[in-house]
Structure formats: structure tokens, C-alpha cells
Amino acid sequence: METCMKFLFLAFATFSIIHQVQSQDQQGFISIDCGLPSNESPYVEPVTDITYTSDAGFVHGGKTGTIKKVSETDFIAKPYRVLRYFPDGTRNCYSLNVTQDTNYLIRTVFVYGNYDGLNIFPRFDLYLGPNIWKSLDLRRTGFGAVVEEIIHVTRSNILDICVVKTGTSTPLISAIELRPLPYNTYPAQTGSLKNLVRYYFTTSNKTILHPKDVHDRVWNPYFQPEWTHIDTTLNVSDSSGGYDLPQDVIATAATPTNASEPLIFTWNLESADDETYAYIYVADIQQVRANETREIEIVGNGKVIFPPYRPKKFEFEVGMLTNTVPLKCEGGVCRVQLSETPRSTLPPLMNALEIFTTIEFPQSETNQSDVIAIKTIASTYGLNKVSWQGDPCVPKQFSWIGVGCSVIDISTPPRIITLDLSGSGLSGVIPHGIQNLTQLQELDLSNNNLTGEVPEFLAKMDSLLKINLNGNNLRGPLPQALLNRKKGGLQLHLEGNKDLCVSCHSKFPVVVVVASLCSLVAIIIMVLVPVFILRRRKTSTGKVMRPSLEMKNRRFTYSEVREMTNNFQVVLGKGGFGVVCRGFLNNEQVAVKVISHSSTQGYKEFKTEVELLLRVHHVNLVSLVGYCDEGNDLALIYEFMENGNLREHLSGKRGGSFLNWSSRLKIAIESALGIEYLHIGCKPPMVHRDVKSTNILLGQQFEAKLADFGLSRSFLVGSQTHVSTNVAGTLGYLDPEYYQKNWLTEKSDVYSFGIVLLEIISGQPAIEHSRENSYLSEWATSMLANGDIESIMDPKLHGDYDTASSWKALELAMSCINPSSRERPNMTRVAHELNECLEIYENLGKRRSQDANSSKSMVHNISFISDSPSAR
């Protein structure tokens, strides 16, 4: 209650200390004042300098209210003075557009303030998407105000925050605030983090918030009688790894008054079964003499949770310490104790502390493409059904009326399989958006006022088993494709559409048929004549005249392949498939992959690669010039990549060629973009299944292109579900989840790319039996236990890299190889993070050498954060 009241009364508590601070960047902030009239939006909150907007565009129902003015509400901050309450419907939701796979601080505020004059504090449930977040009882706070805050990684581009009526009282909400955080901050083994307290240790009564805290965290002052307060007016640098603590928070600290006593902090959990994380911030802000040492041992509930920690001497730097494994506290009472070690001559100190418990949101949201499709349909028809809020399918008791779903289990995104909009007053034509419900089995649009023709796309929806269009005003001829589907068993109901012609196809005029035949003959002539001409283009010696290399994707004879390679004279490489030879086509170099008759890569893989590269074109995918498919003689002709493959350069087998850190990051980015294109640019999307460093080829300017698509497979459009298939790929790069369950998703490529990224960072091969840990993933994890970046980075770089970008790249690689595919980033996120790594490196420029010492000191602090870079 005390923390909540300080938060709500922040206008009174903090105006004097921040009114002169300039406005900060609010990129990505979502700040919604619930109940604010549209004509008063937007406005700038005078204390925090944050811009708030009305909730009118985010919610469909509800009414607005204003809290009653009494002495204790006079200083409540402006965003919490009005509210929206929901007398109608069971579930009412705010739908927010967010960035997928982004770490957000999400805060919801509820202030009753006797807005209705009944003085009855409401009780209701708060949901995040399809999962319950909290059962709220505003009576328990005395004043009737609650603040709920979590740190959560978004699973899709849509986030629903819902209040659900559970009894006779009316749900309400005052404000919704979302703040994007750096992706690698606040890691948790599973689930999300629910904030319990956020304290900085001071005898002051000032609450610290935005704009001093750029992430809009609220820091409340805290102190105990048995502590001594220390502070500094000097600048304290933040090397906490992206947590961006305000100066006012880290420039003050507490030490035990009795120097021989420990510094103890206790807290109570809401449930004895809760798991908790403590984020401890330590900066030695005292002037420590050369013969003095401060070394701290941290014990959580009787267990040492960190190695002895020494703050940096003579440098005011804050480090962040947290338990990587969540604590369980007997009886729900937790205790963290900071003590001096036997080697220490100074007592422990602590600047600030955050406490979180884990909160699970296990139910998967409905397939995002289905959600977008059904919302588009609702928008097209202007449907404002009370039940059509939040997730369409789950939880089942709140599923949309008229929408039927397939719900397999909580980890599999539900799919929409039936849509009943009968008697809904629909008008206009049947919208094309319906075809985006790719798993739809039954469609009922009967008894409406629909006009226009029956669209042919309905026949192309293979999953449809039943279509009911009775009682509309549809007209024109029924598509023949639909009639064919009806013969195949599709239930098609068309009664009551008097202008709809079912048997019009046999009545087409003869002239139309004749015209169509003439057009067909003309097309055949235009296609065949050039073919005959090309076949006649022979020289006097009988050799075929070569087309330009730009005439790609053509089929060659085996004799032509032998000719272009000079009888396979120059071999560029060998593999299980056969050999790659250098060739010349129209005086330009090409690479010719000749499939051996005994190759493990059979005709199926050859055919897959040809078909994929005939339709797929991207700057970061190797181009197919042509192919040979002549009996048992198979060959693929690619564009020539002058600098071979990535593994050759990392291993030093490329004639002493050296890749610097900048070049490695660019190769990683370009490779990631190629894989991203397969995942989201192809129709249907593809999984490569054999991403590895030998399949990343480098051109003349070391531009990177992904190659070898023989194992590629398509997967469901817009689906997070898996494809069951036999395991294929290369040992050392194989996704363990795919290997164990035969479940293939695009995240299998993400895992393989994570191994490639580790190769780029370390120079180590994916498997090396001379290492104690043969597999690169295991080796990297073991090396990270020491928290020393230098032991992981490729020694051939000779230290020519910066700590910030290399740590970020390493953390990204470890998140890609997370054992759980759900916790891995998608390739869009991977490419974005790698671009940030490159920007960090390039922006440092000339300052790199000057900052080397401070960069290395950062490593010392980060090493206590976790045994390995954390993946969300």
C-alpha cells in the first residue's frame, strides 16, 4: 500500500526535484490515460514529462468516470484522476499494437476514488491476453488503488489487456503504461517478472522517476534505523549492462552502522510457492584507501548465491548482481544478507534493490494470422459484438460468439476452424479476408444482405467442408471451381439467392469459345517458335552457341556441363554430395556442383533445391544459373563466389585470409537476412534445415550468401506450430528439440544460426573432439561460467574488438541456442540485434582504444549476472 500511494502521489513528492529536467526520448512508450476525453488528448504530464493519450482508440466499450475530490486525492497525478468502468459484458479489452519479441515494462493502474459515490470497492480479474494476470480486490488497499507491474516479452504484434467481471461489482482501469526495455535485461528462466519492490537506499523522501529514469521505473526511498547513509556528489558510471540506473539512485547507499554486522533485507511473498529474483546494485561511492578492501558475500535464504564480489577500487561504477536461478523461500519469507568476507577491511554496502517474482502466462495466444484475419473481417463489416474483444479463442469461456476454434494444448496456438455470422445484418460483398483463415472448415454467412458474386477464392480454401450462403442477395454465375468442389463432397448451401446462376457455364456463346481457342493457338506459336530457332543455332563445328550468363535458370545437357568445366578439371571442393568444380559460361565464372552417383544427396534433394531456387531470389541467397537433369547425371550451376565459404576463413585454411570483427558482423547480418527471407519472404515460407558455416559463401567483396537448399522444407503460413518430419541436417548444428521430437519449425534454423554466430565470435568449429566439450554450444556455456569475454573471442582477432558489441553478439548467440524453441528470437530480431552490434562497434571508432580499460571493467561486473548470457 505504501509503495502504491507513493506512486500515485508522485506529483506531490517529486515536483521540486525534476521540474527543471529536460524532456527525454520516449520512443516506444505507450501511455494511455483511461477515460480521458478525446478532445483533451494528448497532453504532457507536468511531473514526468511523459505524453499521455486518450484510450478512445484502444477499447470499444465502457463509460468514463472521475474520482471524487477529497483531501487525500488532491495530489494524485493527472493520469489517474479519470477512469473507464465497464458495466456491460464480462470481458472488456484494450488492444495495443506492440513490437513482437520485445521486452516491455507493463504497468496498469486502478484507482477507485469513489467515482460512483457508492463507496463499494470493486473486485475483478486482470488478464494479459488469454492468461490471468491478477485477481484484484481494491478493498484491500484501504484507499482503493492498485498498481500492477510486470516485465514481459511480447509473443506477437498485438497485446490485449483485459478486465473481467467476476461478481456483482464493476471492473475499472485508470491507466496503461508500456515501456520497451533492452532485450537482454531482466532475464528469467521461465515466464515473466512481477515487480514487488524497487528501492534505492537513502534517508531522503524523494521518489525518482522519469525523466531521471529513462525507462520510467519508479524508485522509492527506503532506509532502516540500523544502517548508515553515505552518498557522493561525483558522477557514478553505470556498467550494469543496459539497466540505465539514474544518478540519484546510484549516488547514495547504505552500510551497516555496526561495521561487523551484515546488511539484511527481507520481504514477504504473496504465496509460499512463489519464485523470486533479487537485482542488487552495488557501487563503492566512498574514497577507499590503497590498503583497504571491500569484498562482499551475498547469501539468499542461507545459501551463497554469488562468489565474493569486490566493487572496483578508485572508480565509481555500479555493478548489477542477480540470482540466475530463482529463489524459493520457506514460508514465503525471503532474506538477502550482504556480509563482509574475512579478506575485507570495509563493511558491505548496497545502493539499490529490485525484487521480482516469476509469473507464468502458459496459454498460447491464437495464431496471429487468424487474429488479424478475423479482426479485418470485423472491421470490414463494422461488427461491434460485445464478446468480440481480446483473444478470439482462449480462454474458452470468453471465446468470441460465432467463432469456433481448435485448441490442442496450452503450448500450441489455437486455430479458427468455424465462423458463424448468420443473421448478423452483413451487407456488401463477401470479403477476400476470409481466405486468410487458412484452417477454416465451416463458413456460415446465411440470412444477411450480402451482394455481388460468389468469390472463386472460396474454392481454393482446401480446408473448407461446409459453406452456407442461404438467404442473401448474391448474383452472377457460380464459379465452376466451387461446383467441382461440391462434387468432391463440399456442402454448399445457396438457397434464397434468386439472382445467382448455378448452371450458367454451359450457356457461354460459341464466339467466346472460338476466341479462347484462337488465343491458345497464338500463345503456343509464340512459345514454340523461339524454341525451334534456338535449337537451330549451331556453329559449323556442331557446338551449341552459349547464351549470356544473365539467361539464368536454364536446363543444360551433361555434355554442356562437361564442356563448361573443361571435363571437371578444377575442383573447388568436395562433400557427401560429390564435387564442386569451376566452370565458365560465356566467359564468366560459375560454380558447378556435380552430384555423385553414390551421393547421399538423392534426386529428391536435387529437385527440392532446383524448384526452390527457380522461384526464390534474394541478394543474400546464392543464385542458380542453371541445372542438369539427364538420367543419372545431375548438376547445379551457381553464380561463382570468389572467396569460398565462411568456415575456410575462420579456420585459416583460406591462404592466411583474415576476417576482422566488422567483417564478421556484416557476414552474420547478411546471412541472417537470407534466412529471414526464407522464413517470411517466401510463399510458402521455408526452413533451410542445414544452416552452417560451410553453406555461407562469400563473394568478391566478402558479401555473404546462403547456399545448399536441398534439405529445405516449407512450413505452415503464419503458424507457430511444428511440422513433423524426419531429422535432417548436420551434426553440431542440429536443433536439439527438432532432433529429439522430429518437430521442425523456423526456430530450428535460428538454433543452427546461433552455432554459426558462435563460430564467427570464437573461431571454433561446431564440433572439435580435442576440446573437453566437443560441441561448440557446450564449450561456450562452460567458458561463459567465467564471465571473461577474452577466453571466448577468436584469438586471431588479436583483441581488435569492443566489449559492448561482442557481449551483445554473444548474448544473441546464446539466446538463439536456447533449448526451448519458444524462447529463441526470430530471424528478424536476430538481424536487428546484429545491426545494433555493428552500430555499437562503428560508433566507438577512434574512442575504442581510449575506452579499452573501462570496457574490460564492465566484464568484471557482468560476470556476476549469470552463468551465461540470458535468453528470454
User: Which are the catalytic amino acids?
Assistant: 690
User: What are the angstrom distances between the C-alpha of 246 and each of 63, 232, 864?
Assistant: 38, 14, 21
Q: How far apart are CA 88 and CA 111, in angstroms?
A: 19
Q: Any binding-site annotation on 653? A: no
180: cis peptide before it, omega within 30°? no
Residue type at 680 in one-letter notation: I
Q: How far apart are CA 709 and CA 83, in angstroms?
A: 56
DSSP codes of every residue in 802-862: -HHHHHHHHHHHHHHT-SSGGGSPPHHHHHHHHHHHHHHHHHHTTHHHHTHHHHHHHHHHH
Residue 750 near residue 830 (C-beta atoms within 8 A): yes
Taken as a whole, the chain contains a residue count of 872
With the CA atoms of 829, 835, 840 and 845 taken in that order, what torsion angle do they form, in degrees rounded to the nearest 10? 170
Q: Rounded to an integer, what distance in angstroms lies between the CA atom of residue 816 and that of residue 752?
A: 8
> Of 460, 376, 367, nearest to 406 (Cα)?
367
d(CA 740, CA 723): 14
Nearest alpha carbon to residue 797 among 763, 751, 837: 763
Helix (H) or strand (E) holding 121: none
Q: Is 67 helix (H, G, I), strand (E, B) or coil?
A: coil
Number of continuous H segments (helices) and E segments (strands) in the chain = 17, 47
3 state SS of 123: strand
Q: CA 659, CA 701: separation in Å to the nearest integer?
A: 12
262 class by beta-carbon count within 10 Å (0-12 exposed, 13-18 middle, 19+ buried): middle
Cα–Cα distance between 713 and 646 in angstroms, integer?
A: 24
What region, left, alpha or beta, does residue 655 occupy, with left being phi > 0 and alpha being psi -120 to 50 degrees?
Answer: left
What is the C-alpha separation between 410 and 420, in angstroms, rounded? Answer: 25
* Residues whose CB falls within 8 Å of the CB of residue 793, separated by 6 or more in sequence, listed in order: 761, 762, 799, 801, 806
What is the C-alpha to C-alpha distance for residues 105 and 214, in angstroms, rounded to an integer?
12
Smallest Cα–Cα separation from 165: which of 66, 53, 61? 61
Annotated binding-site ranges for ATP? 593
Annotated binding-site ranges? 593
